[in-house]
Amino acid sequence: MRRVVFNQKGGVGKSTITSNLAAIAAAAGQRVLVIDLDRQGNTSRYLMGDALDEGAPGSAAFFDSTLKFSVRPPAATDFVTETPWENLHLMPASAELDELHGKLESRYKIYKLRDALLPLADEYDEIWIDTPPALNFYTRSALIASQGCLIPFDCDDFSRRALYGLLEAVDEIRADHAPDLSVEGIVVNQFQARASLPQRVVQELLDEGLPVLEPYLSSSVKVKESHELSRPMIHLDARHKLTQEMQALYEALG
């Protein structure tokens, strides 16, 4: 299964959700690859910490290779590194993604990621792709390469209003490029059960028939600690409420 975590809005938890769901899958025995396409590299740093080699091949090197003709182009696995977590591999991001963006877009390399990932079906049970907070070349490449799309949602009115345009963008990409792509659901993040605004906003999404997933992910300072330590929640505190919610969310995806 190939999944993309996507929202054009920053700060909604894309990297946290990608990293933790992938880590949960790997801890359950699935062979998992995470691909980081956000030049900020938050997912890469979260999963690798100080073990991250800034000079190691990653997603930028992969896309750069697509700009060069080769009789035997390198495989996607040539740009992948092991993480400290069993069964979990990473194609890390770097700032070089910015430098390549214009060249890739002008030469229409939009299908290269999909073509590179298809042969990995026998090597990985799950592939998770983290995207930048923009509908750019890398996000479109990720959507085209994926079968499922998860949309993080952070329970405010601005996010709700932006959600409709985001869903339309995914629908357009599915219609034009990716017939197998589906929106698996909206992931409610940093949910405060005792606050009225989050409850009202989420209820409005439900009333409109949008695919809101359960459980909702609670707001917790523990996740900030996991960021600082570069330890996904399943490896930091498996019994924590948020970890349990993430595990239940992963299981709900099927």
pLDDT at position 11 is 79
User: What are the residues facing 148 on neighbouring strands?
Assistant: 3, 182
Average pLDDT over residues 190-219: 89
* Tens-digit pLDDT profile for residues 85-126: 999 999 999 999 999 999 999 999 999 999 999 999 999 999
Tokens representing 77 are: 């696995």
Q: Report the pLDDT averaged over residues 174-197.
A: 90
Q: How far is Cα of residue 147 from the mean position of the Cα atoms in its chain?
A: 13
Q: How confident is the model at residue 197 (pLDDT cuts 50, 70, 90)?
A: confident
DSSP calls for 214-248: SSPPBP-THHHHHHHHT--HHHH-TTSHHHHHHHH
CB burial of residue 146 (10 Å; 0-12, 13-18, 19+): buried
Hey, where are the domains in the chain?
A: 2-253
Measured distance CA(110)–CA(103) in Å, rounded = 11
In 92-216, which ranges are continuous DSSP H helix? 96-106, 112-117, 137-145, 157-176, 196-207
Residue-wise pLDDT tens digits, 6-27: 998 887 899 999 999 999 999 9
Residue 193 has pLDDT above 80, yes or no: no
CATH number of the structural domain 2-253: 3.40.50.300
Q: How far apart are CA 24 and CA 125, in angstroms?
A: 13
Which residue in the block uniquely carries the two structure tokens 């359960």? 214
